[in-house]
Amino acid sequence: MLIRNFVDFKKFASQNSQLKRCVIRVDFNLPSDVVDLSRVYAVKDTILAVIELGLDVVLISHYKRPIPEDVVNEKFSLKNVVNDVSEALGRVVYFEKTSIFDLSPESITSPITLMENLRFYEGETKNDAEFGKRLSEFGDVYINDAFSVSHRSHASVCAITEYLPSFAGISMQREIEELSKVTSNISRPFMAIVGGSKVSSKIEVLKQISQTADYLVIAGAMANTFLTAQGYNLKNSMIESEQIQTAAEILEKSRAQILLPVDFLAAVNIRENGKNYQLTDIPDGFSCFDIGNTSISRVTQIIEKSRTLLWNGALGAFEFSNFNTSSKVITKCIVEHVKASELVSIVGGGETVASIGEYKNDMTFVSTAGGAFLEFVAGYELPGIKALCDCWVKQQPLN
Ligand code: 3PG
């Protein structure tokens, strides 16, 4: 893929000593329920390297999903994250509240400035050219280091690349390189674990992976819908009735060997301790909250013989300590094989990352992205990446 990376950026900066300021698209859409600064640490190398090269930095990001009228609502302000960002970067980050239409680019004097939430502006989500142009006026060069928003055709991701020499940041490049390990030149056997509650949110990934993987483990509540498609009765468990037909089609057309749970930890209520039941023996009134012991062993046996593993989606109700056994056992098994250099493990999605807890740093790669991760591994061309590739063509040569 032709994308100008950070090495190209450094070369460009060294050849263009007149550069003063770099606009960097980051994703500081941080969760508000837990402290998780992964997305800040992910862009730290890029930001510090740009500063090291003698350029000031203007950081642009969205935060949650406000509409422009929400500008008065403080819960959507990026001011909420600026202290955490400063601390994680180990640098003072100045927060600029003034609208980009009222602010003169020349008035910015801080080495690192974080602008207010981009989604307070109409033009952002419309990928408006004028808005992209206005954003470009805050720097002489642009870096996109927000892979997790590259599936959005938004002005700060796409339109802005029409107006500034544009490059991929270190984190963006790493995401593309690591996630490409599950889309091309895959080291086999390749297994995928897809979990979570809804088939509907992962149809494209399931369709794609069922064609490219050697083994596809389907777990979490979505497995109930697949098992229902096979004629099983999951009693009170969560099922997406409108996806039963889709599930049946995926099962029928899959090239991968699909593994569905054969037993479950089930209970009447999620606060009770579950008991292990075979798929055909779940009592009336019970719901399945985690996969059972036999199912866990079947998954670990596949992990043992796989070379590449993709994991997205929770296996069970891991937030409840009475239903987190499968997440713990399977995570430990993956880590053991990664440490022995026998397995490459690519993990993505906020819920999945939360379920692996302290083992996050023991995986080969943990993506910062949710939606963008799913679209990339499903084989889609992401608009933000396309924009960076296109500008290579448009803006060559650089000096
Ligand atoms: C994410 O959290 O996945 C990204 O920040 C994108 O956010 P969005 O789904 O609101 O565009």
Count of C-beta atoms within a 10 Å radius of residue 337 = 20
CB of 157 closer than 6 angstroms to any ligand 1 atom? no
Confidence of residue 354 (pLDDT cuts 50, 70, 90): confident
What is the DSSP secondary structure assignment for residue 162, as one 8-state letter?
A: G
CB of 370 closer than 6 angstroms to any ligand 1 atom? yes
Q: What percent of the chain has pLDDT over 70?
A: 98
CB 37 within 8 A of CB 80: no
Nearest one of 63, 59, 117, 64 to 89, comparing CA atoms: 59
- Residue of minimum CA distance from atom 5 in ligand 1: 29
Pair (367, 386) in one structural domain: no
Pair (113, 49) in one structural domain: yes
CB of 349 closer than 6 angstroms to any ligand 1 atom? no
Pair (249, 161) in one structural domain: no
Residues 6+ apart with CB under 8 A from 386: none
Residue 177 lies in a domain: no
Residue 16 lies in a domain: yes
Tell how far the Cα of 26 is from the centroid of ligand 1, in angstroms: 12
Task: Locate the ligand 1 atom nearest the alpha carbon of residue 148 and give its number.
Answer: 4
Instruction: Give the span between the Cα atoms of 150 and 313, in whole angstroms.
Output: 20
Nearest one of 361, 377, 359 to 369, comparing CA atoms: 377
Range of the domain at 26: 6-172+381-394
CB of 27 closer than 6 angstroms to any ligand 1 atom? yes
Residue 178 lies in a domain: no
Instruction: Give the span between the Cα atoms of 160 and 345, in whole angstroms.
Output: 34
Count of C-beta atoms within a 10 Å radius of residue 350 = 16
Residue 179 lies in a domain: no
Confidence of residue 397 (pLDDT cuts 50, 70, 90): low
Pair (307, 295) in one structural domain: yes
Q: For position 279, what pLDDT does the model report?
A: 98
Pair (317, 190) in one structural domain: yes
Rg of the chain on CA atoms, in Å? 23
Pair (83, 210) in one structural domain: no
Pair (372, 385) in one structural domain: no
CB of 26 closer than 6 angstroms to any ligand 1 atom? no
CB of 29 closer than 6 angstroms to any ligand 1 atom? yes
Instruction: Give the span between the Cα atoms of 347 and 364, in whole angstroms.
Output: 8
Q: Which two tokens stand for residue 317?
A: 């109700």
Residue 324 lies in a domain: yes
Residue 303 lies in a domain: yes
Residues 6+ apart with CB under 8 A from 139: 20, 21, 22, 23, 58, 164
Assess whether pLDDT exceeds 90 at residue 179. Answer: yes
State if pTM tops 0.75: yes
Pair (97, 151) in one structural domain: yes
Residue 321 lies in a domain: yes
Q: For position 64, what pLDDT does the model report?
A: 96
Pair (193, 337) in one structural domain: yes
The residue count of the chain comes to 399
Pair (215, 154) in one structural domain: no
Instruction: Give the relative orientation of helices 222-229 and 244-253 as an angle to the nearest 10 degrees.
Output: 80
CB 362 within 8 A of CB 338: yes
Pair (77, 120) in one structural domain: yes
Residue 120 lies in a domain: yes
CB 300 within 8 A of CB 333: yes
Assess whether pLDDT exceeds 60 at residue 198. Answer: yes
Tell how far the Cα of 314 is from the centroid of ligand 1, in angstroms: 19
**Segment 203-214 mean pLDDT:** 95
Tell how far the Cα of 55 is from the centroid of ligand 1, in angstroms: 28
The domain tally of the chain equals 2
Model confidence over 217-251: pLDDT tens digits?
A: 999 999 999 999 999 999 999 999 999 999 999 99
Pair (166, 259) in one structural domain: no
Q: Which amino acid is at 288?
A: C
Strands (E), the chain: 21-25, 56-60, 94-96, 112-115, 141-144, 166-168, 190-194, 215-218, 257-259, 263-267, 275-278, 287-291, 308-312, 344-348, 365-366
Task: Locate the ligand 1 atom nearest the alpha carbon of residue 371 and give its number.
Answer: 3
Q: For position 331, what pLDDT does the model report?
A: 97
Give the domain CATH number at 388.
3.40.50.1260
